[in-house]
């Protein structure tokens, strides 16, 4: 469990969930911040204070993340895709992704967020890297 740094601005609760970058998958990729993968699943438990919010926004920086399942408290919330004008082979650029979901996905106390690259038909996992995960509740 981790009690995170929380800030409140005019009804907006900002929670810094993760500052480090994580490489998930099964291949060594030298251009990533962390060339060697740390596995195929990353989960982090964090504690939220009591809050009153209707909307939750999750922002994170990532590269090559178009085939990734993101979960909140064990429930899949999103599989990000690359913008239509960007091809997967040229996805070595880090972008900020923003996902908006109902705040009811979270609750005061322990919560868990997870990232898992999807397994391809050949058995390999897509390699992804993400970091700087921030949750906004309003």
Report pLDDT digits (tens) over 61-112.
988 887 789 999 999 998 766 554 454 445 567 888 899 999 999 999 999 9
pLDDT of residue 107: 97
Q: What is the pLDDT of residue 87?
A: 47
Rg over alpha carbons for the chain, rounded to the nearest Å, is 15
Residue-wise DSSP of 85-122: TS-GGG--S-EEEEEEEEGGG--SEEEEEEEEEPBPTT
Lowest mean pLDDT among 2-16, 69-83, 115-129: 2-16
Q: Where are the domains of the chain?
A: 6-137
**How much is the pTM?**
0.82
Nearest one of 124, 131, 50, 120 to 97, comparing CA atoms: 131
Report the residue count for the chain. 138
Domain spanning 6-137 has what CATH number? 2.60.120
pLDDT of residue 10: 54
Paired strand residues for 100 = 57
Cα 92 from chain centroid?
Answer: 17
Q: Is the pLDDT of residue 37 over 70?
A: yes
Residue 3 has pLDDT above 50, yes or no: no
């Amino acid at each position: 469990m981790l009690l995170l740094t929380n800030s409140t601005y005019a009804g907006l609760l900002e929670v810094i969930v993760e500052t480090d970058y994580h490489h998930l998958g099964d291949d060594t990729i030298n251009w990533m911040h962390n060339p060697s993968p740390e596995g195929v699943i990353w989960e982090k438990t964090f504690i939220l204070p009591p809050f009153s919010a209707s909307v939750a926004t999750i922002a994170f920086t990532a590269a090559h993340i178009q085939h990734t399942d993101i979960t909140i408290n064990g429930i899949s919330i999103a599989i990000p895709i690359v913008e239509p004008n960007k091809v997967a082979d040229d996805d070595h650029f880090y972008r900020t992704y923003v996902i908006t979901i109902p705040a009811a996905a979270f609750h005061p106390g322990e919560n868990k967020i997870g990232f898992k690259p999807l397994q391809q038909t050949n058995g390999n996992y897509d390699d992804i890297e993400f970091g700087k995960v921030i949750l906004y509740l309003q």
